[in-house]
Amino acid sequence: MKQYFLGLDGGGTKTHILLYERESGLFDLFTGVGTNYENMPGGYTELSDVLSQMMDTFLGKHGITAADIKSAAFGMAGVDSKKQHQEISNIISALGFKKFELNNDAFLGVWAGTSRGAGVSCVNGTGFSVVGMDAGGQTIQVGGMGFLTGDYGGAFWLVPEVMSYVHGQFFRRYPKSLMTEPIMEVLGITSKVDYMEAAHERFTSDDYKAVNLAILKILFDAAKQGDAAACGLLARSGRAYGENILGVLDNLSFHDPVEIVLTGSLFQKNPDSHVIVKLDEFLKENYNKPYEIKILDTPSVLGALFWAIGDASSAEERALLKGKM
């Protein structure tokens, strides 16, 4: 009898789904739109529709349904509370999945990036999150609810901070920044008097995601050149990650050295960034036990697949699957 396993990594801007079947060696990756219900005008109802369409398309391609999946694991942005967990679990059950696990997408870094299936995982992508899972299976999430928990990281925080600084340079006597002229180019303006209108138009347009990516690149490029404003923003973010990691370490028990996995596009595409430097500095000053920082070198969705397979997966099988990515 065929044994299908499915792992899903649902973020704010995109979703990855992995399907694996042991007997045939089937290994297939699907990429779709973001599945964070918090970003959807229709909330949970829209999420249900989007997931249903994805599963119909992807599983239908292989002639199976959710009921044929032996075990599935869903790591999803927007799972930060018991209520959210219950609401999204109900949606997944309604899709026909009989056996599945669900948690915040940040936990996928632990499964995908640690050698012992225990450690700390930090997400720096569209959003910000820090979680931990120890050898006993105990878990904790620190942060992940935006301004309510002081999440100084991810595009949702960084982009507005950059734009606010440029506005401050124009009208609040903030020191000049290397970010300003490139931001004006992105907005298509030559005068500061046009800033407000241009910013409003670009961030309410259909291409706002491309604008976000352009601004993030400007931020990290300016920091590499030593720009004080850019370095300051990234340093604040690095300290926030360090503080949250320390919160995980204070509340769970780990073997030495604890593995700290950094995932999300802003970590993975900027492995030498000021964020990571300041994160490391903070831990060295405040944590007196051994630790190892790793940049996740494989898609997080692989962690979801490992989670779905669970203890039935050998080290050899996990290495084989990682080699397929």
Beta pairing partners, 130: 122, 142
User: Cα–Cα distance between 55 and 60 in angstroms, integer?
Assistant: 7
102 by DSSP, 3-state: which?
strand
User: Cα–Cα distance between 137 and 233 in angstroms, integer?
Assistant: 35
Per-residue pLDDT of 50-97, as tens digits, reads: 999 999 999 999 999 999 999 999 999 889 889 999 999 999 999 999
Residues 6+ apart with CB under 8 A from 285: none
User: Cα–Cα distance between 176 and 301 in angstroms, integer?
Assistant: 41
Is the predicted pLDDT of residue 315 greater than 80, yes or no? Answer: no
Structure letter (DSSP) for residue 12:
S
User: Cα–Cα distance between 77 and 126 in angstroms, integer?
Assistant: 10
Report the percentage of the chain scoring pLDDT > 70: 99
N-term to C-term CA, the chain: 25
Per-residue pLDDT of 208-238, as tens digits, reads: 889 999 999 999 999 999 999 999 999 999 9
Per-residue pLDDT of 2-53, as tens digits, reads: 899 999 999 888 999 999 998 899 999 999 999 999 989 999 999 999 999 9
User: Cα–Cα distance between 83 and 28 in angstroms, integer?
Assistant: 32
The answer to whether the beta carbons of residues 187 and 203 sit under 8 Å apart is no
Is the predicted pLDDT of residue 172 greater than 90, yes or no? Answer: yes
Is the predicted pLDDT of residue 310 greater than 90, yes or no? Answer: no
Instruction: Tell me which of 5-19, 119-133, 191-205, 301-315 is least confident.
Output: 301-315
The answer to whether the predicted template modeling score (pTM) of the entire model surpasses 0.85 is yes
C-alpha distance from residue 184 to each of 178, 215, 238, 316 (Å): 11, 10, 27, 52
pLDDT at 322: 82
The answer to whether the beta carbons of residues 182 and 142 sit under 8 Å apart is no
The answer to whether the beta carbons of residues 133 and 146 sit under 8 Å apart is no
Instruction: Tell me which of 98-107, 140-149, 161-170, 280-289 is least confident.
Output: 140-149
Per-residue pLDDT of 114-163, as tens digits, reads: 988 899 999 998 889 999 999 898 999 998 788 888 889 999 999 999 99
The answer to whether the beta carbons of residues 244 and 130 sit under 8 Å apart is yes
Which value, in Å, is the radius of gyration of the alpha carbons in the chain? 21
- Residue 325 pLDDT class (50, 70, 90 cuts): confident
User: Cα–Cα distance between 237 and 157 in angstroms, integer?
Assistant: 9
Structure tokens at 303: 């962690």
Structure tokens at 141: 């999430």
Q: How many CB atoms lie within 10 A of CB 46?
A: 14
pLDDT at 312: 65
Structure tokens at 124: 């720096």
pLDDT at 306: 92
Higher-confidence position of 283 and 1? 283
Mean pLDDT across the chain: 93
User: Cα–Cα distance between 260 and 52 in angstroms, integer?
Assistant: 34
SS3 content of the chain, % helix, strand, coil (to 5): 50, 20, 30
Residues in the chain: 325
Mean pLDDT computed over 273-297 = 96
The burial of 51, by beta-carbon neighbours within 10 Å (0-12 exposed, 13-18 middle, 19 or more buried), is given as: buried
The answer to whether the beta carbons of residues 324 and 28 sit under 8 Å apart is no
Domains of the chain and CATH, by start: 4-103 (3.30.420.40), 119-152+234-295 (3.30.420.40), 158-227 (no CATH)
* Nearest alpha-carbon partner for 296 in 254, 266, 252: 266
Helices 208-224 and 228-251: crossing angle, nearest 10°? 100
